[in-house]
């Protein structure tokens, strides 16, 4: 044990740990400090209470009750009721470059705990924790989470609600005394998953305020919390919910909790978004490092289960004319899958739907200059399938009980190596026999009774899907995988390492999508989120929206089309082509810059988009979601550019001019400084509700 203080930094995020009072404390998590800062134990503050009989800490990293901490401990475990209250002596507190290791040992409870903090760059730390059973009896782990203390000025939290078709709706709360605990038991993160949980200073908005974020790199059952104990100490937590008995450690065995990512920004919600986006983008195999994101057409909303070759040929031809680069054949091509009641599990091309097989169609798609993608839902099985008839015991279940069906299907037990291998081989055979560049991998129901041989198995099931994706990509280099789960039910910081794209939501209607995308992009960069233009009248809401608004909404992601374009008018097709060209011209910019959101005083209006990191350009979408309150359009400002620099500003209409638009002269082009843009602004054109336009800004 060399130093009392260890410190690592990542971007503008610094973590300082102190080894004092027999335990390791977080001395600071937040803005980067001066390099020659003199740390001092008095920084820990709060060691006395009004009533001298209170035990007030500091309590240490692992929040042991044995030190008098009355909040939720990091580790909750026992050996048949014994050794339930560990007290860890610090046996290692060391640092190698940007990595701090803290090891605790309890000789009496015979437990070892390790917490490792690693700077992964771009403003994030990864926290990896491991507990080892050094004793004889089995150790049952109930909870093993990552907790980090927050400063007292973190007084608000943000996480998300959500349901099918309405993913990630933000909810802000004041942090009050007690524990605000969010647990997911769906066996997947779910529609309401907070990709990262946020704590904020008062009135934090998109541009201002301090934000502390914690997210787990895992796609199983999530767990997030914020706790304020009677001492006033507040902490944030992320982990995975462990089912009873899911983790039982024999002598010498260890459990590694899913890693957590801790971020900090002093630049509001956009600042923390940028931290996550830039970290995801810095990875070696980030999809945009390989090539620009291909414009996609998915046939689902065009044909559903009705796979007729003539119709699909026609769709492919029109798609190619528009400029689509990847065509995806969705559900319905395999086994007896003519509707959603049968066939899941039988991954061979249906001779009924595809008498000549898929290859002639794939060749046609390829000859039109597009690559081909195919839908799978490999973790699932319909009772009415050859697979289920042969292996009814291959599903997740408890005892003789068959779980309730969800969407007429059950979940295969991927911890069962035979079931896993069977699916791996059947999917591999399809990929081997066809020219498939991309798969959309779905997961359309929650896990109920998730057991392998009667033991809870969400963690092993989750690791198995990672293994499946990794093996498929190893076998078929260049294959891209989209993670879909009834839309956005499996979008998280674990899956970003195994899938290259997420289907953001089954809600393809643009008005609803505005909000879903705005917040799903909180931690996931737009190039990983599928955003498709669907039909004039939405299949989900029956609301009709003009192409202008649908196009603008679908532009800022991995763009595509989910619409029977054989029914589109000639004018609509021309506009779609213009839109496709616009996307292709600008996608590299939109998939690399800083994502910004500017809330407007009239909340019918919203501006969002991308500003180049060197502030030389911006592409922003101005949208009117509803009618505005005033009779004339308000002005808007664009902060975040170089104040002293001159910029050309103009409007663009890649999918047509909004209805009833009363355009302003500046929309043709105006030159102003970054300072004038930030302080004076421009008067917006008056536009119809449910419409929008693009603001293009480039340095003069």
Instruction: Point out the residues that are catalytic.
Output: 442, 506
Helix (H, G, I), strand (E, B) or coil at 231: coil
* Backbone dihedral angles phi then psi of residue 458, each to the nearest 5 degrees: -65, -40
Residue 487 Cβ vs ligand GLA, minimum distance, rounded to whole Å: 5
Residue (487 or 494) nearer to ligand GLA, CB: 487
CB 178 within 8 A of CB 164: no
CA distance 263 to 125: 7
Structure tokens at 402: 């068959």
Contact present, 409 and 331 (Cβ < 8 Å) = no
Name the nearest CA neighbour of 325 among 358, 373, 289, 376: 373
- Shortest Cβ 486–ligand GLA spacing (Å): 5
CB of 303 to ligand GLA, least distance (A): 11
Q: Which is nearer to ligand GLA, 135 or 190 (CB)?
A: 190
When the beta carbons of 489 and 685 are compared against ligand GLA, the nearer one is 489
Closest distance to ligand GLA from the beta carbon of 565 (Å): 17
Return the number of the residue (159 or 192) whose C-beta is nearest ligand GLA.
192
Shorter beta-carbon distance to ligand GLA: residue 10 or 409:
409
- Nearest CB to ligand GLA, comparing residues 286 and 539: 539
Taking the complex as a whole, how short is the minimal distance between the CB of residue 164 and ligand GLA, in angstroms?
Answer: 8
Output the smallest distance, CB 181 to ligand GLA, in A. Answer: 29
* Residues 105, 132: Cα–Cα separation, whole Å: 10
Helix (H, G, I), strand (E, B) or coil at 531: strand
**Angle between helical axes of 309-322 and 570-590 (0-180°, round to 10):** 60
> Alpha-carbon dihedral of residues 467, 472, 474, 480, nearest 10 degrees?
-110
Shortest gap between Cβ of 320 and ligand GLA (angstroms)? 22
Q: Is residue 375 within 8 Å of residue 330, measured between CB atoms?
A: yes
Distance CA 375, CA 442 (A): 7
Q: How far is the CB of 30 from ligand GLA (least distance, A)?
A: 39
Q: Cβ distance 41 to 3 under 8 Å? A: no
Q: Least CB distance from residue 376 to ligand GLA, whole Å?
A: 10
Measured CA distances, 460 to 251, 400, 444, 492 (Å): 20, 21, 19, 17
Q: CB of residue 377 vs ligand GLA: minimum separation in angstroms?
A: 7
Asked whether 305 and 339 are in contact (CB, 8 A), the reply is yes
Tokens of 298: 């998915």
Whether the Cβ atoms of residue 47 and residue 56 lie closer than 8 Å to each other: yes
Distance CA 541, CA 547 (A): 16
325-356 burial, b at 16+ Cβ within 10 Å, e below that, comes to: bbbbbbbbbbbbbeebebbbbbbebbeebbee
Q: Cα–chain-centroid distance for residue 352?
A: 38
Report which of 138, 91, 88 is spatially closest to residue 108, judged by C-alpha positions.
Answer: 88
Q: Nearer to ligand GLA by C-beta: 182 or 326?
A: 326
- Closest distance between ligand GLA and the C-beta of residue 331, in Å? 4
Give the dihedral sign, CA 88/91/95/99. negative
Contact residues for ligand GLA (CB under 6 A)?
Answer: 300, 330-331, 340, 375, 442, 444, 484, 486-487, 503, 506
28 in helix, strand or coil?
A: strand
- Closer CB to ligand GLA, 457 or 486, in the complex: 486
Quote the CA–CA distance of 142 and 168 in Å, as a whole number: 28
- The two tokens of residue 530 are 């599928």
Q: Nearer to ligand GLA by C-beta: 302 or 437?
A: 302
Nearest to 27, CA basis, from 39, 38, 36: 39
If you write DSSP's letter for every residue of 415-440 in order, what string do you get? TSHHHHHHHHHHHHHHHHHS---EEE
Smallest CA-to-CA distance from 640 within 669, 607, 671, 591 is with: 607
- The answer to whether the beta carbons of residues 457 and 413 sit under 8 Å apart is yes
Tell me how far apart the alpha carbons of residues 443 and 663 are, in angstroms, rounded to a whole number: 45
Rounded to a whole number of angstroms, the minimum distance from the CB of residue 387 to ligand GLA is: 17
Please give the residue whose beta carbon sits closest to ligand GLA in the complex. 331
Rounded distance between C-alpha atoms, residue 68 and residue 56, angstroms:
7
Give the three-class secondary structure for 271. helix
Q: Judged by CB, which is closer to ligand GLA: 153, or 407?
A: 407
């Amino acid at each position: 044990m060399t130093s009392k203080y260890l410190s690592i930094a990542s971007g503008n995020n610094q973590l300082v740990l102190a080894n004092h009072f027999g335990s390791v404390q977080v001395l600071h998590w937040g803005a980067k400090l001066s390099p020659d800062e003199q740390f001092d134990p008095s920084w820990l503050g709060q060691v006395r209470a009004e009533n001298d009989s209170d035990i007030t800490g500091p309590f240490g990293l692992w929040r042991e009750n044995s030190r008098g901490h009355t909040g939720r401990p990091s580790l909750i475990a026992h050996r048949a009721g014994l050794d339930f209250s560990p007290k860890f002596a610090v046996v290692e507190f060391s640092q190698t470059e940007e990595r701090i290791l803290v090891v605790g040992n309890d000789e009496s409870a015979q437990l070892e705990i390790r917490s490792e903090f690693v700077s992964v760059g771009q403003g994030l730390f990864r926290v990896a924790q491991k507990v080892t059973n050094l004793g004889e009896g089995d150790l049952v782990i109930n909870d093993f989470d990552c907790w980090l203390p927050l400063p007292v000025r973190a007084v608000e939290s943000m996480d998300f609600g959500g349901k099918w078709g309405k993913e990630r709706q933000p909810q802000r709360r004041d942090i009050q005394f007690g524990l605000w605990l969010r647990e997911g038991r769906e066996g997947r993160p779910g529609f309401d998953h907070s990709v990262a949980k946020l704590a904020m200073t008062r009135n934090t908005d998109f541009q201002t305020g301090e934000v502390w974020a914690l997210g787990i790199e895992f796609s199983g059952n999530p767990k997030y919390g914020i706790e304020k104990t009677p001492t006033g100490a507040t902490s944030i937590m992320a982990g995975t919910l462990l089912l009873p008995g899911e983790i039982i450690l024999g002598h010498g065995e260890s459990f590694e909790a899913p890693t957590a990512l801790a971020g900090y920004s002093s630049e509001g919600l956009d600042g923390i978004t940028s931290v996550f986006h830039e970290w995801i983008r810095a990875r070696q195999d980030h999809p945009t490092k390989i090539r620009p994101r291909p414009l996609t057409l998915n046939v689902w909303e065009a044909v559903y289960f009705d796979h007729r070759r003539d119709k699909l040929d026609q769709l492919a031809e029109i798609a190619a004319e528009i400029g689509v680069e990847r065509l995806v054949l969705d559900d319905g091509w395999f086994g007896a899958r003519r509707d959603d009641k049968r066939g899941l599990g039988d991954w061979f091309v249906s001779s009924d739907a595809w008498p000549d097989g898929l290859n002639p169609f794939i060749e046609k798609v390829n000859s039109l200059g597009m690559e081909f993608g195919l839908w799978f839902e490999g973790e699932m099985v319909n009772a009415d399938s050859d697979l289920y008839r042969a292996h009814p015991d291959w599903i997740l279940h408890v005892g003789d009980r068959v779980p309730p069906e969800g969407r007429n299907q059950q979940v295969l037990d991927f911890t069962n190596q035979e079931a896993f291998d069977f699916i791996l081989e059947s999917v591999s055979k399809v990929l081997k026999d066809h020219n498939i560049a991309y798969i959309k991998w779905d997961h359309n129901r929650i896990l109920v009774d998730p057991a392998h041989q009667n033991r809870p198995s969400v963690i092993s099931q989750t690791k198995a899907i990672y293994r499946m994706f990794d093996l498929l990509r190893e076998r078929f280099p260049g294959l891209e995988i989209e993670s879909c789960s009834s839309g956005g039910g499996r979008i998280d910081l674990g899956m970003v390492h195994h899938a290259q794209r997420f289907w953001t939501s089954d809600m393809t209607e643009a008005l609803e999508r505005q909000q879903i995308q705005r917040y799903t992009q909180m931690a996931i960069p737009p190039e990983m989120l599928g955003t498709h233009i669907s039909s004039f009248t939405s299949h989900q809401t029956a609301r009709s929206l003009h192409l202008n608004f649908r196009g603008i909404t679908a532009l800022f992601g991995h763009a595509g089309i989910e619409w029977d374009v054989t029914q589109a008018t000639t004018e609509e097709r021309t506009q779609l082509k213009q839109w496709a060209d616009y996307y292709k011209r600008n996608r590299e910019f939109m998939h690399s810059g800083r994502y910004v959101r500017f809330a407007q005083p009239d909340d019918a209006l919203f501006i969002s988009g991308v500003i180049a990191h060197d502030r030389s350009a911006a592409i922003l979408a101005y949208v009117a979601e509803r009618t505005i309150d005033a009779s004339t359009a308000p002005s808007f400002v664009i902060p975040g550019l170089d104040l002293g620099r001159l910029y050309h500003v103009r409007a663009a209409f890649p999918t047509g001019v909004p209805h009833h638009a009363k355009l302003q002269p500046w929309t043709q082009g105006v030159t102003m400084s970054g300072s004038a843009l930030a302080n004076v602004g421009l008067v917006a054109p008056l536009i119809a509700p449910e419409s929008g336009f693009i603001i293009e800004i480039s340095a003069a």
